[in-house]
Every structure is written in structure tokens, then in C-alpha cells.
Chain A
Amino acid sequence: MGPEQIISELHAAALSSLERATTLDAIEAVRVEALGRKGKLAEISKTFGKLTPEERASAGKLLNSVKQDLETRLDARKDALASVARDARLESEWIDLTAPAPGVRPGSLHPITQVQRELEELFISLGFAVLDGPEVETERYNFDALNIPADHPARDAQDTFWLKDGRLLRTHTSPVQIHALEKLGPPLKVIAPGRVFRNEEVDASHEHTFYQLEGMMVDRDVSVAHLLYFMKTLLSAIFHRDVTVRLRPGFFPFVEPGFELDIQCLICGGKGCPVCKQSGWVELLPCGLVNPAVLRHGGVDPEQWNGFAFGLGLTRLAMMRYGVDDIRLFAGGDLRFLKQF
């Protein structure tokens, strides 16, 4: 037998052994036997010295191709075995992903906080500053400076919690108008969200504690058209959809002219329900041009400056937004309600 024939036979034998090998160790044994330093192919190469140069070249070439082939097949076989082992391991690693994930879930922010925050961000993006005012106010800031003198019938509309020290709980966020004029001076664009109080009987649509958002812009030549622009921008952003609105005269001593902006009730779609008192409309925005008397009380010359102001019922807005038909839920502290937001 010539060396080339022997190489071919060794090749065939090694392939056959490899076929039968089912473990990594067995494969390694095949490799050592065929390709090892003292393996059979190494042995055969030692006999090449006896060959003619032509024979040697031919046998060498065959030997190399057989070595390469065996190495490739050995690796492939090893990989195949490893992948079977890995597959088996992975198979055993099955877990039930429908089991609940551990750890605490986020809580929720109060719906009024969420609505308030959204509006704050909206107004900040429109260049408004966000101000805070005290909840305990003086008569001057809550009434007098807002052009509501002591015997003014408008005080009837705002049942007041008077305090024993002569002060009161603010009945609206409007006192912040005066604080803003005094503190910042014109020109200014501010909003002031916050808690307000009315001494009223509580029912599904009345609370003694609720939230408003006051807004005011003071500049040169501020017009009803500007106010309308801000209100429309505001409402389309708040409701993320077209709402039907209407404007009509409204009397508030701190604005002149004053008006009411109503939106069509989002709960009943205008058909009439307890929240809109069967009218199909909900008063959302009392607003108007700042009364010159208010500017004067805030130390601002109404011949030089004017502005608009509006008051938004944040609580009412949250009711509209989330379809809440009982205002008492907001301060009820019931997590069955609050966790829904």
C-alpha cells in the first residue's frame, strides 16, 4: 500500500470513529488518535522521506487536505454536541412568566395634582410664571383690593369661612392677582393654582374645599382677542380634542368687561345631567379684562397697563376630564378611587 492509500484509509477510519463518538471526550480521543503529535497521520508523514519528490508532494498535499477536513469535522461535531448540551440546559431552565413580578408598583398622583401639573407645564411653555399665595388671607386681598367692598352683593356669592382673628380662608385664587402685581409689577404673565374654601353645604357637585387656577397677564394693550387666544389654546390643550364653548357676559367685580366661558358638558354631551345641572353646559372659565381698580390696588397705573385675568375650576376640570360625578371623592382619601389615576 502506498502512503496515499494509507492516508485515505486512516481518513475513513477516523470519520467512522467520529461518527460513533457521542461525548466530548470520545471526540477528543478521535482527534488525538488521528491528528495528535503521535497520531496516525503524524506517523505516516514520517515515511514520506522514502518517496520521490513528486510522490512526496502529492502525498503531502493529500495529508494536509485530510487533516483540514478532519479538523473541520471534529469542530463541527464538538459544536453540535455542545449545542445539544446547551439546549438541554436551557430546556431545563423553563420558568412560568405568568407568575406575578415581585416588588412594589408605583402609586398614583392625585387627579387634581395631575391636572394642575399639566396646566402648569402648559402655561410655563406659554411664558407664564407659577405663583403661590397664602390660603389664609386678609379681607383686603380676598375682597377689597379685588374691587369687592364690604357691602358688595358679590360677597353673597362667596360664602366665606371667617377666622376668629378677623382674617378668612381665601374664597378664590384671585388674591394672588394683587400679590403678583405688588411683587412682580408689570408686565407679567402668571398663574396661581391652589386650594380655596367656601362655606357651602356639601353635595355631589359642591365642596367646601376645592382647587382653582388663577391666571393673569398684564402688559400694554391687552385685549379681549388676546384673552380669547389664550383660552382657546388652553382648552384645546387640556381636553386634547375639540370642545364646544360659548362666551357670555358674566359679572365679576375684578374684571371689566367680564365674561363666562362655558363648555358643553363632557359627561352627558350636552343632554343634561346632575353635574351640569341639566343645562348641558358647564361654567368653566370666568374671565375678563382686569378692572382698572384692581390694577390701582396692586400699585399699577391702569392708564399705562392693562390685562386679562381668568379663574379656572381645577376640581371641576378634573371632574370633566375623568368623568367623576361626585366631587366629594377628591378629598375622601379613598384609595379605591385614587388608585385609578
Chain B
Amino acid sequence: MKFSYNWLRELVEGLDASPRELAQLITLKTAESEGVETHGSDHVIEIDNKSLTHRPDLWGHHGMAREVAAILGRLLFDPVKHIEFRGEAPLRVRIDDHELCPRYSALVLENVTVQPSPLWLAQRLEAVGLNPINNIVDVTNFVLAEIAQPMHAFDAAKLQGGEIIVRSALGGETIQALNEESYALDPSNLVIADSGGPIAIAGIIGGAESAISDSTTRIVLESANFNASSVRKTSAKLKLRTDASMRFEKAQDPVNTIRGLERAFALLQEVSPGIRLVGGLADNYRPQPLQAPIVLPLDWLDRKLGRAIPGEEVRRILESLEFRVEVIEPRVFSVFVPSWRATKDVAIKDDLVEEVGRMIGYDSIPPIAPLTPASVPPASPQREFHYQVRKTAASQGFTEVQNYSFVSEEMARAFSLDPAAHVQVVSPIASDQNLLRTSLLPGIWKNINDNARHFEHFRLFEIGRAIYPDREVPRFAAALYAKDDGAAGLFELKRLAECALPGVSIHPTDSSASYEHPRRAADVLYGDSKLGRLFEFHPRMIEGGRAAVLDLDLSRLFELQPGSSRYRPLRRFPESAFDLSVLAAPRALIADVQSAIVILAGEPLLSIAFLREFTLPTPSGEKARSLSYRLTVGATDRTLSADEVGAIRSRIIDGMRAAGYELKV
């Protein structure tokens, strides 16, 4: 919203602040200024519309002038002079639903001369970004910019029947609007109609047919009030925002319709000499219930602001903003809200805290530490766990990325995910980013290929949410890229998994997804519980190198975190250790052989560690693997004798042989 500095100066007595000072004051006390620009001999202060959404009165210069006068302690001039419109209503106004149109006021004027506006009027409009058109239209726009009352002038000769009807549009009705666009209307749109059909879209734009033209001699001057929500919906539906609709959307004051006519008539007499009223005022309205005054206890106000403010100062501030103040008991005010603040802005005593607070200046309030009992806040162990995982990954060289939550259907399919099982976005940022991710892998995959352009090798990870229709699940994914054969990366990630949750195991699977290396893919398990996957991306998906990936359900990982455990006494008796080497098939699993040994060893086995493997030829010419393990055995109550240890060893060897393994002894 643009405000003319010269215009404000006409409305505030002795305004001596410079345009920049004024903009700064308005920013600090009322609404956010976005800058000051010179416009001929005038200056224009641009105020951010978003900071005016709750203030219908500030969509006109008079409303802003009231703020300025209050801030500076000056007198405010009212440009509207009261006029008594006597005589019969010159036309009938029918309002079907007063909820949608609380008030419709109109004058009929004749002996109109349509001509260009005088310079002062044209300049005012241009300064605030409105195009001068002709004296009649310009006056309506001037009133809009001055007192925030949108108005419209119809050419009376083009109206059919003697009645203005405010009604819902009928299905199939269309209107050719002033902007030369045609709009198809439906019953959710409120229109102004005559007996021939719609002549304006209520509160938004007038029709072309009844527009003011050079030949116009008689006009109907509309000054109405429309329901904010209705105007907003129609404006959004028709994709048509106008200076009028922007104001009505903010819930304008129904009292203002008459002020609009008074001001417009005064101006028209000036710019269209000889113009005459036909009859009196047409005014159809539903009486507005008076808003009850707000009871404002001053002690409560002080407690809310955290600073004592003398009652006299509170009163001065409220009265400077034209609230009426009555003292109902010592230190309790009864505050009457002016009509232009009562439409939805100020309704409860909390709203008055703001009026007083901003005017005394928030900077005048000293910061005070609250006196509350000391307490330890409830912990958030899951969040803490996520942070530990982040630190673990970072300590092992992985750098954290954050990817978007959106994926395309194509990408979902590439990762074996069903697009239909995803939550879908109605109007995505890009037409193909219409799904909410259920996997971190598409993002990680993109990260790998993007970064492969800049690095020979790298490690990265992400913690983010997989979003399903019924739940959000935190997930962890890490990747390691290198220009090698890819094997080392898988073991780095295996170590990362073991660090994140000691006790996880890796179980290679025969079946793999299309994006996985068919022989380098495994489930990550904890006991029988599946936590995720460890795999290498299928080499066809990665340019120039190999990429290993660890993909985990972080919520499962969290649930499985061990609590604090009890101390185990140190062993009192020495342990014994011996090594075993088992000959196994080329694709036998180290873990499987180890499990077999563990079962055979039984209770005396304290620990077992895989030592090394080497390949050796068998008599049949095939290759075999020799897998070596170190076993540590012992008892809690004595030192095992050499014979006992030998017996354990023999039992294992015999057992393994019986199970079909060959052992080098």
C-alpha cells in the first residue's frame, strides 16, 4: 500500500517529520515500511500489505494519518464533512442476504460532466499508484485511497428497472467487466444486478456495460459494505484482485459507506460543476449490534506488559487512537472500540495491550527474568539418539546432507516404490515433484552422482523423515563413493552400522532390488528384527566409481538401544586361547562357520574372533577358503587344564567334521 506524504501532511496538523523519519516511526509503531520513493514534489511511503491485513482502517490515508497523529501527539483533521441528504430515496436497494452485504448506500446524481480530473486530483492518484481515468471515476478512487471506502459509479442511463439488487449470481450468468475480461459466475459469487442481470461483481469490479463514458450525464454512486470472506473467495476463484477487493477482504467498517458518499459528493461538486442530487439517500442496512465495551484492568495490563504505566498515559494513548475511555472503578477502564477497529481487529482486552504497548514503545519495556520454579525439562531421548548417530557418522568421515521431502513418480519407481502408496501434493513446486518421500535413497543417489563430478571419493549421510499416509518415520542413510572395486566402502558402512547399534548383524540376501548390486546386498538385522539394508548401488546407476549405501529405520534402531547394563565381575581364573582353521566352500559365510563353531563350543567359550582367510587349491582343482578363528575358553571357578582345553578343541573339530567341514589341524 502506497501512502503519499503530502496527503498525510494535509490530514495531520503540523507534521514536521521527514518522509524517511515518518516511515521509520510507522515501522516501529504501526506497520512495516518497505521504503520511501520520490514522486514529483511528493514522497511515497510503501507499507508492506502483509502488515496491514488486520487493519481495515489503514487501507486509506486518513487511517494512517490517525496513527501518525497519535504517534506524534498532533491533531488529526477529518476530510469528511457531514452532509444531511434529505429527500426520498432515489432508487430501491434490495439485499438478499445481509450477511454477505451488511450495507448498501447510494446516491443518484444528475447534470454530470465527464471530463479529465484537475491536476491536483490526478497527481494524488498517480502518487499512490492509481491511474486517473475521468473526474467521476477518479473521485471514487480518491475516496478509496483516502478513507478506505471502495466506491463505484454506474451510468444511470444504462441501468434497467428502478432497483439495485444485491444477490448471489445465478448459474450460467456472465459479466463483461471494466477490465475488458468476461467472467463466468456461479452462485458462490455475490453480484450487484439490475433487472437485466449483473452490473458488477460485488466488492471487486464493475461491469463494462454500465461504465461511465463521455456521454454519461446521470450516475448512481455506490458506497457499500461486503462480507470479507465472500469477497475473498470470489476474488480468489476469479483470480481477480482489485483495489476494492483488497480492502473489503480486510473487513471494512459499514459505518464508512455514508462517509464515502459525503466525501465523494463534496469532491464531485468541485470537479463536476453543476452536478445535482436526485432525491436523497438510498441506504439499506442491517443495524449492527454495538460492540460491548472492553473491560481493561490496568493492573492486568501492567502485568501483561511487564511495566507499570500510569493510568493517565494509557488513557491518552487510547484516546489518541479514538477509543473512548470510561473509568468504571479505580484502575479499571471501560474501553469503547471505534467502529473502524471493531470489524475484527480489536475485540478483547489483549488487543488493547498491543495498542498501549506499541505506542509506549516495546523498547521502553525492561527485560525481566521470570520467577519460575527450577525444574529439569522432560528429556527427548529419541532426538538425543538421532544426534548421537549424527556424531558417530561424522566422526567416521561422513558429511551430513539435507534433501527435499519431494520425489517424482519416476524416481519412486526407480527405487522399487509404488507411487500410489505415497502421500501426494496437490500443486507441487515442479510438476514432477508430487510425492512425499518414503525413502531417503533417491536423494542420496542424486547426491552421489552430483558430488562425483567434484570428488574422487567421499562419504555422506542424511537423517530425514519417510512420510507415509499414516505415520512419519525417521530414517538414516549413508553412502560412500570411491573409484575402486567398492568392497572397502561396504565394510566401512558395516562398521558404521555396528557403531550406531552394537550387535547388529549383516545377512546377505539372494534377492536384491533392481538398484542394488545383485551380489552385494544384505539385510541389516538385530536379532530377528530387520533394520534396513546394506548394499552397493548397481554399478549402472553410478558414474565413474562405486557407491556403497547403508539405509536404516532410525526409529527401530532407537527402540533397540540397550539401556545401561550391570557391571560383570572380572574373571578370576586365566583363560586359554587356541586357533582353528576351517576349509569352506568358496561362498561359505564367515558368520555361518562361526555360528557352527559357537554352538559346538558351548558354555566354556568366552569369545571367538575371526582372524583371517586365504584361498588354497583343493586336490580336485577347485578353490577352497581357509577360515581361521581364535577361540578363548575358560571357567568361572577354576583354571581349565591343558587336557580340558584339548577336549573342548577336539569336540569342536569332531563336530565340525561331522557337519561336513574339513579342518586343518
* CB-based contact A258/B400 at 8 Å: no
Q: Is A232 an interface residue (CB 8 A)?
A: yes
The segment from B180-188, B421-429, B533-541 found at the interface with A is B421-429
How far, in Å, is A314 (CB) from chain B's closest CB? 11
**Pair A109/B467 contact, Cβ less than 8 Å:** no
- Cβ contact within 8 Å between A291 and B306: no
Closest A residue to B53 using CB positions: A153
The answer to whether A135 has its CB under 8 Å from any CB of chain B is yes
B450 at the interface (CB under 8 A from A): yes
The reply to whether the CB of A250 lies closer than 8 angstroms to some CB of chain B is yes
Q: What residue of chain A has the Cβ atom nearest to residue B362's Cβ?
A: A247
Query: Interface 1/0s, chain B 335-366, versus A by CB < 8 A?
Result: 00000000000001011011001100011011
Would you call A226 an interface residue if the criterion is a C-beta within 8 Å of the partner chain's C-beta atoms? yes
A117–B387 CB distance below 8 A: yes
- Are B401 and A151 touching (Cβ within 8 A)? no
For A107, give its contact among B55, B380, B394 (CB under 8 Å).
B394
A48 located at the interface, meaning its Cβ lies under 8 Å from any Cβ of chain B in the complex: no
Q: Is the CB of B426 within 8 A of A338?
A: no
In the complex, which residues of chain B have a beta carbon less than 8 angstroms from the beta carbon of A124?
377
- Is A208 an interface position by the 8 A CB rule? yes
Count of residues in A whose CB is under 8 Å from the partner chain: 80
Chain B proximity mask over A314-341: 1 for CB below 8 Å, otherwise 0: 0000000000000000110111101100
Q: Provided the pairs A163-B425, A224-B365, A256-B354 are in contact, do residues A251 and B53 lie with their beta carbons within 8 angstroms?
A: yes
In the complex, A215→B405 CA distance in Å? 24
Determine whether A49 belongs to the interface, using a CB cutoff of 8 Å to chain B.
no
- Would you call A331 and B402 a contact (CB within 8 A)? yes
Q: Which residue of B lies closest to A200 (CB)?
A: B429
Q: Which of B376, B390, B405 has the most CB of A within 10 A?
A: B405
Chain B residues contacting A110 (CB-CB under 8 Å) are 400-402
- The yes or no answer to B50 lying at the interface (CB within 8 A) is yes
Q: Are A197 and B405 in contact, with the CB atoms below 8 A?
A: yes
Bound: A208/B405 CA distance, A: 10
B23-79 at interface with A (beta carbon < 8 Å): 27-32, 34-35, 50-51, 53-55
Q: Is B290 an interface residue (CB 8 A)?
A: no
Binds B, one of A15-23, A28-36, A89-97, A125-133: A125-133
Name the segment of B121-129, B225-233, B263-271, B564-572 touching the other chain: B225-233
Task: Name the segment of B133-141, B142-150, B156-164, B454-462 touching the other chain.
Answer: B454-462
A331 to B404 Cα, complex, angstroms: 7
Give the segment of B311-319, B367-375, B613-621, B626-634 that binds chain A.
Answer: B367-375
Q: Is the CB of B305 within 8 A of A225?
A: yes
A249 and B354 form a contact (CB under 8 A): yes
Cα A129 to Cα B423 in complex, Å, equals 30
Residues of chain A with a CB closer than 8 A to B92's CB: none
Cross-chain contact A209 with B404 (CB below 8 angstroms) = yes
Q: A224 and B362 in contact (CB under 8 A), knowing A162-B426, A165-B469, A331-B403?
A: yes
User: Which residues of A in the span 98-138 have a Cβ within 8 Å of any Cβ on B?
Assistant: 104-110, 112-113, 117, 120, 124, 127-132, 134-136
Q: Find chain A residues with CB under 8 A from B428 CB.
A: 161
Whether B405 contacts A135 by the Cβ 8 Å rule is yes
Query: Does B446 have its Cβ within 8 Å of any Cβ on chain A?
Result: yes
Cα A224 to Cα B50 with chains together (Å): 23
Question: Which residue of the partner chain, among B375, B380, B401, contacts A333 with CB atoms under 8 Å?
Answer: B401
Contact with A along B509-546 (1 / 0, CB 8 A): 00000000000000000000000000000000000000
Q: Is the CB of B30 within 8 A of A257?
A: no
Interface centre among A105, A164, A224 (most CB of B within 10 A): A224
Q: Is A259 an interface residue (CB 8 A)?
A: yes
**Given A110-B400, A335-B399: A164 and B29 interface contact (C-beta under 8 Å):** no
Pick from B35, B372, B424: contact of A164, CB below 8 A. B424
B26, closest chain A residue (CB):
A248
Asked if residues A226 and B369 are in contact (CB atoms below 8 Å), the reply is: yes
What's the minimum C-beta distance from B209 to chain A, rounded to whole angstroms? 30
* Beta-carbon contact of B402 and A249 below 8 Å: no
Instruction: Indicate if B324 sits at the interface (CB-CB under 8 A).
Output: no
Query: How far is it, in angstroms, between the C-alpha of A202 and the C-alpha of B376 when the chains are bound?
Result: 41
User: Is A62 close to B, CB under 8 A?
Assistant: no
In the bound complex, do residue A199 and residue B427 qualify as a contact, i.e. CB atoms below 8 Å apart? yes
A232 touches B367 (CB 8 A): yes
Judged by a CB distance under 8 angstroms, whether B383 is at the interface is yes
Q: Are A330 and B402 also in contact (CB < 8 A) when A221-B303, A247-B363, A249-B31 are?
A: yes
Is B393 an interface residue, CB under 8 A from the partner? yes
- B51 contacts A335, CB within 8 Å? no
Which partner residue on chain B sits nearest A261 by CB separation?
B362
Residue in A151, A199, A249, A334 whose CB lies within 8 Å of B451:
A334
A153 to B229, CA, bound (A): 9
A-B contact pairs, 27 of them (CB 8 A): A104-B397, A106-B394, A106-B395, A107-B394, A113-B400, A132-B382, A135-B465, A136-B436, A151-B228, A151-B232, A153-B249, A163-B424, A164-B426, A169-B405, A199-B427, A219-B370, A224-B362, A226-B369, A226-B370, A249-B31, A251-B54, A251-B55, A253-B54, A279-B34, A289-B350, A292-B350, A330-B402
Name B's A-contacting residues (CB within 8 A). 27-32, 34-35, 50-51, 53-55, 228-229, 232-233, 249-250, 303-307, 348, 350-351, 353-354, 357-358, 362-363, 365-370, 372, 374-378, 380, 382-383, 387, 390-391, 393-405, 423-429, 436, 443, 446-447, 450-451, 454-455, 458-461, 465, 467, 469, 472
A residues whose Cβ falls under 8 Å from a Cβ of B:
104-110, 112-113, 117, 120, 124, 127-132, 134-136, 150-151, 153-154, 156-157, 161-165, 167, 169, 184, 187, 189, 195, 197, 199, 202, 208-209, 217, 219, 221-226, 228-229, 231-232, 246-251, 253, 256-260, 279, 289, 291-292, 306, 330-331, 333-336, 338-339
Sample of 7 further A-B pairs with CB below 8 A, known A162-B426, A225-B368, A228-B368: A108-B394, A109-B400, A202-B429, A279-B34, A279-B35, A333-B446, A334-B451
